[in-house]
Amino acid sequence: MTEEKRILFKKAILKGPEEYGFETNLWTLSRLAAVMKKATGVKFKHNHTWEIVRSLGFTCQKPQVKAKERDEQAIKEWKEKQLPVLKKMGIKTWALKGKTPVIVSSSSWKSLTMAGLLIFTPKGNNPRMIFRLQAGSMDKYDFCDFLEDIKTELKGKKLLLIWDGLPAHRAKKVADYIKSQKRWLRVERYPAYAPELSPLVAYEN
């Protein structure tokens, strides 16, 4: 393959599979071979296609999934404004290294069967996990009970809880409970559809 055609093929790959009519944004060798032929007129077997793709700087990676409902501006503002405040309190979070590929999908949960909490000291030491499993979904009453269990587990220690915007988390029953527990509990919320900000999600994965 000439250098000119290699450049055309690389540009075609960077456009993504959906640009060429595929249903998902995942590249397979079959799709790459088809797009190579369409963009350059050159056709190779899969093993040679793989070699060309690698020579263009691409590697086969497991993609990171992000929700299509994400508000990128809200996430950016949370990282710039809220996260530094929490870091001053000794809280740490996880960050991705490199340019991991992203697959956009719907992340609107219809049920939840497990609630988990990753607990560590303000300096990030002594991490441990507390979780509850139950049949069916967990509602506002279940989360209040879970917070009560956490309170018992902490034995009088204070907690800065960072969680997402699950409807049950936002329920008035839960909000009232949190207000009544100011002596030991403070709650902050992640931006919507930003699971990568939570170290618990990384742990589950």
- The pLDDT value given to residue 203: 56
Is 3.30.420 the CATH number for 66-204?
Answer: yes
Domain boundaries, the chain: 3-60, 66-204
The 3-state secondary structure of the chain reads CCHHHHHHHHHHHHHCHHHHCCCCCCCCHHHHHHHHHHHHCCCCCHHHHHHHHHHCCCCCCCCEEEECCCCHHHHHHHHHHHHHHHHHCCCCCCCCCCCCCEEEECCCCCCCCEEEEEECCCCCCCCEEEEEECCCCCCHHHHHHHHHHHHHHHCCCCEEEEECCCHHHHCHHHHHHHHCCCCCEEEEECCCCCHHHCHHHHHHC
Q: Is the pTM of this model over 0.85?
A: no
Digit-coded pLDDT (tens) for 174-194: 999 999 999 999 998 888 777
